[in-house]
Amino acid sequence: MLLISQNIKNHYNLEFPDDVILRINLAWCNNLEELKEKLSNEKNGKFFLDLPQGRIKPPNNKYSLEEMIPILESNKQIRYFAISNVENKNDLQPFLDKLPGYVNIVPKIESTKAVINIKEICNSLKTEKKIVMLDHDDLFSSIIRNHEDKNNFQKYIKKLIDFCRENDISLLRTVGVMFSDDESRTTQYEK
């Protein structure tokens, strides 16, 4: 899966393969009208929405599951829905109960507890092809917050990689980042 920020496509005249999936991080959407506009601009694309939960760093725009359901139901091009800070199957249950069946729920692994509970988390997913997303920075921060040896970071990463490989689960990881000197937005850091 090749997942790219939807912002790259909007701001730069770049060509992408047809199978690219556009990611929208809802933390960066100032309101749901902005999200609807982004979705309407790409009716033939596939989208990956990223819903921040428990996020404390900016940007910190927040939306409820109830606000998101009508948008998901009216935009079938949304195929993936990532949920931040999943640490166990209970964190996923409201989404499993309420999201349309064609939406692939993607738990974001951001803590040591999530890595320890990865089997439980993945077993709760209903889709045939299971996907999890790793946030390396937040996992490392979790290790520091828990006063663990920072050298355990590689052990947690390896445990997650091995589990996903052994169970045919796609593990989405960051591969590079794009920087630009023409970014001028400041308002999206705080609603």
Q: Give the residue, 177 or 113, on which the prediction is more confident.
A: 113
- Exposure letters 168-186 (e unless 16+ CB within 10 A, then b): ebebbeeeeeeeeeeeeee
Give the pLDDT confidence score for residue 130 in this predicted structure.
Answer: 96
Give the model confidence (pLDDT) of 31-76 as tens digits. 899 889 888 887 788 899 998 877 666 666 778 899 999 999 999 9
Give the model confidence (pLDDT) of 69-128 as tens digits. 999 999 999 999 999 999 999 999 999 999 998 999 999 999 999 999 999 999 999 998
Tokens found for residue 86: 């999943």
Q: What's the predicted TM-score (pTM) here?
A: 0.87
One-letter amino acid at 149 equals D
